[in-house]
Structure 1
Amino acid sequence: MEFKYSDNDQLSVSSTREKIQEEVFNAKCRVLTEIRECGQLCDVQIRVGEESFPTHRVILSASSPYFRAMFTNSQFVDPNQQVIQLEQVSADTIRSIIRYAYTQQCDISTENVESLLVAADYFNIVGLLSECCQFLASQLSAENCIGIEKFASWYACSELEQIAHNFFMENFVEIYRTSEEFLHLEPENLCRVIASDDLNVKSEEIAFDAIIHWVDFDPIGRTCYMAKLLGCLRLGLFSTYFFVEKVKEHRYVKDNTACRPLIIETLKFLCDLDRYADARSLGNFDISSCMLTPRMPHGILFVFGGWNVNSPTNIIETYDIRSDSWMSCQTAESDYRAYHGTCVLDGLIYIIGGFDGMEYFNSVICFDPVKQIWLEVAPMYSKRCYVSAVILGGHIYAMGGSDGHTRQSTAERYDKNRNQWSFIQPMHQQRSDASATILDGNIYICGGFDGVTILNSAEFYTPEIDQWTLITPMLTPRSGIRVLTYKNTIYAIGGFNGVIRLNTIERYNEKSKAWEPGPEMSTARSNFAIEILDDTIYAMGGFNGHSTISSVEYFDIDNEQWYGAADLNVRRSALSACVLKGLPNAKSYVPSRSRVPIMDASDTVHLKDT
């Protein structure tokens, strides 16, 4: 594995130079603004309605090709003309544009962003146009993203258009259920959305429900589009039961002659699938059929390192939730380490501390999933195996662990901008093999082992006052535990109580300050990995008391049940996991859509109710 090192001295020099340049620029802007406000050296007045704005031709020309062409071409404006009348914009808009020309600053709000963007586009002020687009991107919501995407398309703001489109696809379920804009989509646009590989739906049943919701808004005018919309679905991914009972018999489909050929074709397709106990054994079956092609996942689940029976592994695996399959990354490997921590910060994956069978690490390595390269950053002060690690406020926190001799109560914080670790207040107890999570701006750490006793204690850290506070102990001592926060509740899952590996769960209610039992996992496990993907808790690998395991299960909070998922390719415990969304090269981390496993109605994959 090849590492690249950052040059801190060069970064420091560059940062100082940029700070000086910014100070000089700000000083120039202040002088120019003062000259204009005093009316000094002004050579033109911009008039809008009854208001006039004394200004300097050269300043406006520098910020806008439109004004430059106006002031330098006598065919447009007489060079001696002192007053320019503008009809295209309001006085407030031109005031903001003039301020931007002098200071490169503008107060953008929800009230003025549309008019400013239109004016910036008209006058070809690229910087202001970009800032308006950034502001609109920051304001995206389920209620407005479709309108913003359309607005961006009108003014050829391609980057904003793509951002709004991605937001729509990512949050499709919430949008189709709550947005008025969705109900007014043109049929062609809805077809493109439903047909897209990037549509973020957990099942085709949800996409079908979205179609029905759209048609319900105007059944008389829209039922005629049902055949075209159905053809955009991955119909081979429906269960035979759902297709027959919910799709074929739906009132918009049942007597719709345009839908009949597609219904017949799909029924034959599904019957052919049902004839085989193992769909993968289909001889000449076209598994690349668009009917069976899963959509692209919006989040990629990564698994790093861990202990594979007798030794650590360096194999990275990624999980495709849409095809329920794991893939070993052929283009990237980590180093060999287990009992480490993993965090995601600014799109980079940090692997913290750990153990390779011989050495206890204080080193921290960083994986860039887009460039697929490894970087090495500043090491921690302490070696930390069995470490607990989280991200809070743009910093990495590493807590507890073992250096091979001592179980630690110390904790450190990493500042990415300075590439530096610093100690924070130590915890109340020594903790290795504990686990940590974030809730309401505090770090909670639970369980672990102090070298003598397996702990049921828990405490939280408040960064603002650099203080740890003990909370109500868990119901059960747990080492090799995993904790996470899901919908404002802390889940403490699995672990080892000193006698057996556990499949039990506890949930902490911050308001009542109490722990209560939760639904048990199917498999007892300690030192496993846990992550949230698609609003679902995934538990992966671990040790069950007898052997290292590869099994994976997930928790559906709506049904309060655990369900099985595809096994890891490599049996491993003491592994770590993380989720990244929006990767531009996501396709390199999932199986080819022409070679994904086929699932039929007999597969035990649970689909949430639509």
Structure 2
Amino acid sequence: MTEFDSSSSDMEVSLISPPCKVLNELRQSAQLTDAIIKVENHSFPIHRAIMSACSPYFRSLFTNELFHTEMREVVIPGVSADIMKIIIDYAYTRTININPENVELLLCVADQFHVMGIVKSCCDYLTGSLNVDNCVGIYKFAKAYFCHTLECKSFTVVLQNFAHVAVHSNEFLQLSADELADIMSRDELNVRNEELVFDAVLRWIDFEPERRKSSIPKLMRSIRLGLLTTQYFVERVKTHPYVRESEGCKPIIIETLKFLYDLEMEEEKVVDINNPLARPRVPHELLFVVGGWSGGSPTNIVETYDTRADTWSIIDTMDAGPRAYHGTVCIGHVIYVIGGFDGNEYFNSVRCFDVVNKTWSQVSPMNAKRCYVSVALLDGLIYALGGFDGHVRQNTAERYLPRKNQWSLIAPMNHQRSDANAAASNNRIYICGGFNGSECLGHAECYDPRANQWTMLTPMRSRRSGVGVIAYRGQIYVLGGFNGQSRMNTCERYNPVTNTWSQVADMYSPRSNFAVAVLDDMIFVIGGFNGTTTIFNVECYEGSVDEWYDASDMNLYRSALSACVATGLPNINDYITKDREPERGRRSRLHTAAQTAPPLEMGVD
């Protein structure tokens, strides 16, 4: 049985009309009733016409030639009195009380009697109750009772949360081999790497090894083995007892070894994405990079990054005007582009890109023009902090409530800051570094929205302007930037619990005025300015090993850009390349093309 959150409230649906109210009163007083339904030791007087109008089952029963009109009692086995009472009450009142204790049994009986109103209400209730802990049970339940909409929705939750489900869900262990193979074969399976899929297979088999290990060949066919590293495949997969002892796995092993060997020998070989061994999964999250400074002027080009295939795509829906030194956040499926500069004008305007409908629009402007603005998202509110309005560096801050399309000022910061960066974590906004008009800053502060108050933090280890700031695994990471003399590749992180800073691994490339985002539980730094040229290279940081890796380069050299992540897009295939060739690991790349640095970046901003 599927478990539900005990805090789930009952759901009541009522469509009662006055005539039915009268009939219900007659039923309750056993007046004008013409039949009795008996279940267990309970008898329910009813009107045949009312029950027939509610249920094809009862209509067929009461109109069958074999049913005598003088017959009063109908005995129905296998149904509890409590559930039958709910069914009869619904027939008269069109009102039903659904709760975690009765929903599954109620749906089963409603399906048996073809009371489709109750079936739909139960499915709606289960849809509202879906979470990572019960999605597998609800999926199997919906599949058994042909509740197609509920089945699709619960299956989507399984796919999107597979990494959690495969490790923590006990319902996962109740899947059949065919069901598990079907889940793992889907392009939409949301996993960072195929190692997670292989580990899921092992956990499923380990639950009943003697009965289940014969399913290993079928399940291996559902893993994208060609996306594993050669070392992992040879050391962990090929040698595992379940695989090694299976005759059915031998051709799979041979095929995969040949595929991996060919890739090792021909590093630039084009991978056939139609090959089941190597077809990348469709990403659940998509990175959008908007605007920036490129080739001596600002741009309006938008690129997306598919972390599953390690590929960048330029989208064909660009805003009318370019901008750089702006901020972006994503709320739902809408990207907000905030403030910035187009080479002539400093903006207080806010542009919106609807990722699903592919349309641009404008919302209410900020109270101040803000170039080099720091932007963060907390509890559905957008915060715009500091910046440069063309005359002064600002300490003012404001926030935007999308529901009201309204900006309002909040308490000013303790210091003027432009070219800083901000992130939200622990119910607070953190802003670090920046430039005050005369020097790069090494201090940081945080904002508590409940108290409307800014508090200074322990200073950073380095002064940083044009810095990257991101919340990651409960801490605030501060990356790169300009210290007044050179662009930096050093990184540090702030622990809000201890109010202390510690060093983390250096990036490969020094950079300032770059974009930063968390994608697939890794920090990505994108583009920027290295002190000599605008760059288009990308790195990602894996916190569990404190190490940076190269990722694929953008299509465009750019700095003063901004990035955000959109999740769960229904039209994600519109934003990923059709010929998605997977990269073999995170290979280092050397690019010799040079670009002219944009004028604004020659200063400390």
Given that 2:272 and 2:581 are in contact with CA atoms closer than 8 Å, whether structure 1 keeps it comes out as no
1:368-387 to 2 correspondence within 5 Å?
A: 368-387=354-373
Seen in structure 2, the aligned counterparts of structure 1 residues 170 and 478 have a Cα distance that, compared at 3 Å, is same
Q: What's the offset of the Cα at 1:535? A: 0.8
2:229 to 239, 249, 259: 239
Q: For residue 567 of structure 1, what is the aligned residue in structure 2?
A: 553
SS in 1 for 2:181: helix
Q: What's the offset of the Cα at 1:522? A: 1.5
In structure 2, how many angstroms separate the alpha carbons of the residues matched to 1:143 and 1:407? Answer: 49
1:428-577 to 2 correspondence within 5 Å?
A: 428-577=414-563
Letter in 1 for 2:252: L
Seen in structure 2, the aligned counterparts of structure 1 residues 211 and 57 have a Cα distance that, compared at 3 Å, is same
Q: For residue 580 of structure 2, what is the aligned residue in structure 1?
A: 596
Q: For residue 310 of structure 1, what is the aligned residue in structure 2?
A: 296
Given that 1:314 and 1:335 are in contact with CA atoms closer than 8 Å, whether structure 2 keeps it comes out as yes
Given that 1:489 and 1:510 are in contact with CA atoms closer than 8 Å, whether structure 2 keeps it comes out as yes
In structure 2, how many angstroms separate the alpha carbons of the residues matched to 1:460 and 1:79? Answer: 79
Seen in structure 2, the aligned counterparts of structure 1 residues 31 and 140 have a Cα distance that, compared at 3 Å, is closer
Q: What's the offset of the Cα at 1:147? A: 0.8
TM-score (norm 1): 0.82
Seen in structure 2, the aligned counterparts of structure 1 residues 269 and 122 have a Cα distance that, compared at 3 Å, is same
Letter in 1 for 2:139: E
Q: For residue 44 of structure 1, what is the aligned residue in structure 2?
A: 27
Q: For residue 134 of structure 2, what is the aligned residue in structure 1?
A: 144
1:66 to 51, 54, 64: 54
CA RMSD of aligned residues (A): 3.7
In structure 1, how many angstroms separate the alpha carbons of the residues matched to 2:235 and 2:24? Answer: 79
Letter in 1 for 2:540: Y
1:96-245 to 2 correspondence within 5 Å?
A: 106=97, 108-118=98-108, 132-245=122-235
Identify unmatched segments of 5+ residues in structure 2.
1-11, 31-36, 590-605
In structure 2, how many angstroms separate the alpha carbons of the residues matched to 1:126 and 1:50? Answer: 27
1:364 to 350, 355, 360: 350
Seen in structure 2, the aligned counterparts of structure 1 residues 96 and 537 have a Cα distance that, compared at 3 Å, is farther
Q: For residue 33 of structure 2, what is the aligned residue in structure 1?
A: none
Identify unmatched segments of 5+ residues in structure 1.
1-25, 606-610
Q: What's the offset of the Cα at 1:358? A: 0.7
Q: What's the offset of the Cα at 1:123? A: 7.0
TM-score (norm 2): 0.82
- Cα offsets for 1:358-399 (capped at 9, x unmatched): 111111111111111112111122111111222222222222
Q: What's the offset of the Cα at 1:419? A: 1.8
Given that 1:51 and 1:91 are in contact with CA atoms closer than 8 Å, whether structure 2 keeps it comes out as no
Of 255-264 and 192-201, the range deviating more from structure 2: 255-264
Q: Structure 1 residue 91 and structure 2 residue 82: aligned?
A: yes
Of 258-267 and 184-193, the range deviating more from structure 2: 258-267
Q: What's the offset of the Cα at 1:186? A: 0.9
Of 436-445 and 462-471, the range deviating more from structure 2: 462-471
Seen in structure 2, the aligned counterparts of structure 1 residues 350 and 79 have a Cα distance that, compared at 3 Å, is farther
Seen in structure 2, the aligned counterparts of structure 1 residues 95 and 286 have a Cα distance that, compared at 3 Å, is closer
1:403 to 377, 380, 389: 389
Q: For residue 278 of structure 1, what is the aligned residue in structure 2?
A: 268
Letter in 1 for 2:536: S
Given that 1:392 and 1:438 are in contact with CA atoms closer than 8 Å, whether structure 2 keeps it comes out as yes
In structure 2, how many angstroms separate the alpha carbons of the residues matched to 1:100 and 1:418? Answer: 43
Counting aligned pairs with the same residue, the percent is 44
Q: Structure 1 residue 297 and structure 2 residue 280: aligned?
A: no
Letter in 1 for 2:516: I
- Cα offsets for 1:376-430 (capped at 9, x unmatched): 1111221111112222222222222121112222222222222222222222222
Q: For residue 248 of structure 1, what is the aligned residue in structure 2?
A: 238
Q: What's the offset of the Cα at 1:126? A: 6.6
SS in 2 for 1:430: coil
Given that 1:236 and 1:269 are in contact with CA atoms closer than 8 Å, whether structure 2 keeps it comes out as yes
Seen in structure 2, the aligned counterparts of structure 1 residues 359 and 130 have a Cα distance that, compared at 3 Å, is farther
Of 545-554 and 180-189, the range deviating more from structure 2: 180-189
Q: What's the offset of the Cα at 1:224? A: 2.2
SS in 2 for 1:206: helix
SS in 1 for 2:409: strand
In structure 2, how many angstroms separate the alpha carbons of the residues matched to 1:259 and 1:105? Answer: 52
SS in 1 for 2:247: coil
In structure 1, how many angstroms separate the alpha carbons of the residues matched to 2:201 and 2:157? Answer: 19
Q: What's the offset of the Cα at 1:102? A: 6.6
Q: What's the offset of the Cα at 1:576? A: 0.9
In structure 2, how many angstroms separate the alpha carbons of the residues matched to 1:228 and 1:377? Answer: 52
In structure 2, how many angstroms separate the alpha carbons of the residues matched to 1:398 and 1:567? Answer: 29
SS in 2 for 1:300: strand
Letter in 1 for 2:488: L
Q: For residue 567 of structure 2, what is the aligned residue in structure 1?
A: 581
Of 40-49 and 400-409, the range deviating more from structure 2: 40-49
Of 415-424 and 81-90, the range deviating more from structure 2: 81-90
1:330-369 to 2 correspondence within 5 Å?
A: 330-333=316-319, 335-369=321-355
Seen in structure 2, the aligned counterparts of structure 1 residues 50 and 290 have a Cα distance that, compared at 3 Å, is closer
Q: For residue 608 of structure 1, what is the aligned residue in structure 2?
A: none
Given that 1:366 and 1:376 are in contact with CA atoms closer than 8 Å, whether structure 2 keeps it comes out as yes
Q: What's the offset of the Cα at 1:575? A: 0.8
Seen in structure 2, the aligned counterparts of structure 1 residues 127 and 385 have a Cα distance that, compared at 3 Å, is farther
In structure 1, how many angstroms separate the alpha carbons of the residues matched to 2:291 and 2:101? Answer: 51
Of 537-546 and 39-48, the range deviating more from structure 2: 39-48
Q: What's the offset of the Cα at 1:459? A: 2.2
SS in 1 for 2:445: strand
In structure 2, how many angstroms separate the alpha carbons of the residues matched to 1:339 and 1:346? Answer: 23
